[in-house]
Amino acid sequence: MTQLHVIPRHIAIVMDGNGRWAKKRFLPRLAGHKQGVEALRRCVRLCIARGVRVLTVFAFSSENWNRPAEEVSGLMNLLAGALAREVPSLHAEGVRLHFVGERASLSDKVQSGFAQAEALTVANDRLVLNVCFNYGGRSDIVQAAAHVAAQGQTMTEQSLSAAMGMAHVADPDLIIRTGGEFRISNFLLWQAAYSELYFSPALWPDFDAVDLDAAIADFAQRERRFGQTSEQITQSSASAVAI
């Protein structure tokens, strides 16, 4: 079958497995999260090199507040440090940053770091990087529905999508979860409707070019039917090739 778009335009990743990576090395969980930041940095560069246009990552879920206080505060400090350290080089590489999720309960420092990073990178267009932080798919749907209702708009798929945190990008083509778990954990519930799913056994800090290329190669073999039949898809891609 002819594959027209082998490289997914939008990849979303549940970056899971930091804690287990650290545990295997008898290190504190936070050491795994630190290494996770390095893995994200590597992944951004790889996505640019492969021609991916949008990368969305799940960095902290609305349920992750329920972790031990020490881990939560460690993650917040790590975030603040990563913003200060990584944003200038991301900007230099043409990355446009968006932070998706509920911000009001984050520290002033983190909130202003988000706003500054978004403003600094607003004109970049090599790669859009959405960092989902204090994000939950269900609460995103609920706040969007509340917004549509408060505006007195008619509730449609379009009006709801437009009020959601990911309204500025098309839905993910490929969702990768690392760390060997087979679940979605409240990530992009609405936007995942027709995403291809890929589960990698690699722990996030270990996720490298070989793992990413394996996911992209797997994606290239998929037939995305969007409810149609295989024959319809083959015909329309054949005529698209003829054009």
Instruction: Note the residues at the interface with ligand IPE (CB under 6 A).
Output: 14-20, 58-61, 64, 75, 179, 181, 183, 185
Q: Which stretch, 13-21, 24-32, 97-105, 186-194, contacts Mg ion (CB under 5 A)?
A: 13-21
Catalytic residue flag (residue 16) = yes
Q: From the annotation, which residues make up the binding site for substrate?
A: 17-21, 29, 33, 61-63, 65, 67, 177, 183-185
Catalytic residue flag (residue 134) = no
Smallest distance, ligand IPE to C-beta of residue 214, A: 20
28: tokens are: 């504190």
User: What is the rounded distance in angstroms from the CA atom of residue 220 to the CA atom of residue 211?
Assistant: 14
Q: Which of 16, 171, 173, 211 is catalytic?
A: 16
SS3 207: coil
Residue 137 interaction partner, one of Mg ion, ligand IPE, none, beta carbon < 5-8 Å per kind? none
Cβ partners under 8 Å of residue 64, min gap 6: 72, 75
Smallest distance, ligand IPE to C-beta of residue 77, A: 13
Smallest distance, Mg ion to C-beta of residue 16, A: 4
Q: Within 13 Å of residue 81, how many CA atoms lie on the same side as its CB?
A: 10
Phi and psi at 91, nearest 5°, equal -60, -45
Does the protein bind Mg ion through residue 16 (CB under 5 A)?
yes
The burial class, CB within 10 Å (0-12 / 13-18 / 19+), for 48 is middle
Catalytic residues: 16, 64
